[in-house]
Chains A and B, each alone.
Chain A
């Protein structure tokens, strides 16, 4: 039976601001899951804190709304315990690149087979618009008393450096394109990072929907030129096709260069993808050959009468004196 979009919607009142880019991301996630015909109880949406953190409550799958910055280790614990689950992480830019930066980097090193969607709007929305780690130096969004004094982190560059094996960017108001990227991210074998340009209509009055649509960026004929363009339309191919050092280096270098484009011409699409890097699950399985077939969540630990199944007597015997 095909999954309908409505099957994935809860009746929880959505309290995001009208016009928020988050709606685009939510719709894209639900559309992607519906098209993939997932089994809802096999999907876990894990979020952090902030406006984006509320997303799981609007999706009728398992939803885990965790702590600020900690969604990745929570999600990793779930995925390692049960690698059969489809785990989708959803967080904000402050969550991932600020308070959770350590987890962001180290989760890339592990390369668990999950997807991570970042709502990137340059501000901390739910605390009323402070500068986030992706806001450029000197920008003064609406509620900042002074221009931003810090340099911005480049999320794509950081993701590449950290070892994410899928690095992409989407735009919240191009829902169809975003939906395709989400499907790719979920289908990717390994940890997929998807940065989403998400206008915050309330607190970011610079990187607005109108800004990205290029309403002030007119061509000689007076037509607006959108500031985002699709990588795939320029013939860019971020995928590593063969597992050689040269190919990987070339694709990484190309993605690194691309990651610096921002502003009047901002690329969206897949910057980099490499499925040759072993996933964490594969690495675990190479040490524990029954890990994949019989992961922690599937292991029985006791008989019905409570007798433990682990044979530790052998370990005790190793320490025995007789």
Chain B
């Protein structure tokens, strides 16, 4: 774990740490926690590395890299015995009561624990408490070492040198682990690739730290991180970026957004990569028109509000362009009316919904899965919508493309639910396979439409499937109309009762077709043995912690299987009913108060789900707490509702 004040380079240093471990051949899972604040509040980054696949974080800390006193006060007691704390000895006389950003209740609890051990309230006191529990302490005189680096580069300004403290902390941790410093330096080069001098100075800082640690603490920690040979191609991905790349691949060419945490990073990534290189093989006749144009583009528009974001994206959808908007709960609330218009007018549009802790402003930078029911019912009246939820970054990638395919095939809005935990986690993944991706535009028509039936086109013509030919607005040769009013097949207002029934049936029928056509593999995942003591029901980013916890339980001979619902609407009722009716004990696991998926599942299947593990403190589920909770269900000692509370 690495921590520090926001704005002091915590993110950069954690990125370097994680990247270096990943380059060293390790699987990495990184999780970022931060306040809704720009500078000064405490943030931390937890990075878990393993030679085996890992999908979640753990609560205990093996190594705490710090460069401020607040990190030490907050996290020193989370470090397990035999773990290590790297800290700045210059700060050891800093007092707990003088740190303004630590909450009163946290301070009180720390003071209690310190005084129980007869200790005072300085950083040295809390380090002493950790030491008594068996934690190794490694003071690193950052400033002295930085001055050495400064001499080499003729840089004497302390304030500019101190910007490297974060990297010094990372380097110290790696030096203690005897990690290959050249891999670390390579990671630094990659992270600072646009700033040559910064990269070089930081690399020099690594050398200085390594020689200091080797001289002073050589081998004393007892753990090492030797490089591992990897036989597969891996990438190091963050959730927001995963969505961005997938959108470009999917053919999304208009993205709208209003700034909101934790969704905006995706739009910013897209804007930074707005020119899209096209695969334009020479000699392909159907692509002749593109021969002179090597590049396409995605237009990213920062709108005045989320109402404009959704309606502008719908405008793009009308014009035949794959369009989307990304937002979080408060923004999605504003999109309700626009979403209904898209449903009424059968417009393909994708909303990427990054859940965060609500209600209202809630906890803007913290995690929750509280919007499942909201996504199912956003907007007034009844209209078809497809709601899908991804559980990890690999799913996020492929589901993003599918969201656009569903939207065009079924001509209706698609809500793709992810969350803060996925958006802000960095993980190693096997290289994503673009060849697996196919684009399905359904019956979209662009360019020109030839017809002998006059220029007025029946855009909303009744069909067997409810899906009608869809020339984009602007298609030559025809015209038609769209309106949020109930309408006839040409799109003109109609309040005729017979027409109303025809049109409602037509729109809603598309959901039945979607339910029939979408393969089961895109709707659910089932993990573990057919027969198990417990069947876990869940959705979204809890997937990682569940799979890791199940692995631990299996090692103890407790069999748990796991049904992950990915397509929430249309709900895979039949399959879910079959699995759950065979289950010995169903335990619903969700990051919300009420167990929203359990409620939806009960409504759809009429199977009662009494047991729930829920969490709503804004911090993602750790593998351990989930393991303990599931174990208590397996042993029959759990109450029907277990509330998890770990995390700082």
Is there an interface contact between A74 and B446, defined as CB atoms closer than 8 Å? no
Is there an interface contact between A321 and B23, defined as CB atoms closer than 8 Å? yes
Q: Which of B245, B323, B439, B491 contacts A77 (CB 8 A)?
A: B323
Is there an interface contact between A40 and B479, defined as CB atoms closer than 8 Å? yes
* Overall SS of chain B's interface: mixed
Is there an interface contact between B236 and A80, defined as CB atoms closer than 8 Å? no
Q: What separation, in Å, do the CA atoms of A314 and B431 have in the docked complex?
A: 12
| Interface 9-residue window, one of A164-172, A210-218, A285-293 | A285-293
Q: What separation, in Å, do the CA atoms of A296 and B308 have in the docked complex?
A: 19
Q: Which of A67, A284, A290, A303 contacts B295 (CB 8 A)?
A: A290
Q: Mark A48-59, 1 if CB is under 8 A from B, else 0.
A: 010000101100
Query: In the complex, which residues of chain B have a beta carbon less than 8 angstroms from the beta carbon of A76?
Result: 301, 308, 312, 315
Q: Which of B254, B337, B477 contacts A41 (CB 8 A)?
A: B477
Is there an interface contact between A312 and B434, defined as CB atoms closer than 8 Å? yes
B341 beta carbon closer than 8 Å to chain A: yes
Is there an interface contact between A311 and B230, defined as CB atoms closer than 8 Å? no
Is there an interface contact between B479 and A62, defined as CB atoms closer than 8 Å? yes
Is there an interface contact between B234 and A77, defined as CB atoms closer than 8 Å? no
Distance from A87 Cβ to chain B, minimum over Cβ atoms (Å): 9
Query: In the complex, which residues of chain B have a beta carbon less than 8 angstroms from the beta carbon of A41?
Result: 455, 474-479
A189 beta carbon closer than 8 Å to chain B: no
**A73-B311, A296-B253 in contact; A85/B319 too (CB < 8 A)?**
yes
Q: How large is the interface on A (under 10, 10 to 19, 20 to 34, 35 or more residues)?
A: 35 or more
**A60-B455, A63-B482, A81-B323 in contact; A310/B296 too (CB < 8 A)?**
yes
Is there an interface contact between A320 and B319, defined as CB atoms closer than 8 Å? no
Residue of A nearest to B317 (CB): A77
A304 beta carbon closer than 8 Å to chain B: yes
Is there an interface contact between A321 and B492, defined as CB atoms closer than 8 Å? no
The count of A-to-B residue pairs whose CB atoms sit within 8 angstroms is 261
Is there an interface contact between B479 and A316, defined as CB atoms closer than 8 Å? no
**A77-B314, A81-B319, A306-B438 in contact; A300/B287 too (CB < 8 A)?**
yes
Is there an interface contact between A64 and B296, defined as CB atoms closer than 8 Å? no
Q: Which of A10, A288, A311, A319 contacts B277 (CB 8 A)?
A: A311
For window 1-50 of chain B, which residues contact chain A by CB distance below 8 Å? 19, 22-23
**A67-B338, A73-B312 in contact; A322/B230 too (CB < 8 A)?**
yes
Listed A/B pairs (26) with beta-carbon separation below 8 Å: A12-B492, A41-B475, A41-B477, A62-B480, A63-B481, A64-B482, A65-B484, A66-B311, A73-B308, A73-B311, A77-B312, A77-B318, A80-B316, A81-B299, A82-B321, A103-B308, A284-B299, A288-B297, A291-B299, A294-B293, A299-B297, A303-B286, A308-B251, A316-B245, A321-B235, A322-B230
Minimum-distance CB pairs A-B, first 8: A77-B315, A301-B251, A296-B253, A81-B319, A65-B483, A302-B439, A106-B304, A306-B438
A-contacting residues of B (Cβ < 8 Å)? Answer: 19, 22-23, 230, 233-237, 241, 245, 248-251, 253-254, 256, 273-280, 284, 286-287, 290, 293, 295-299, 301, 303-305, 307-309, 311-323, 337-338, 341, 401, 428, 431-432, 434, 437-441, 446, 455-456, 472-485, 491-493
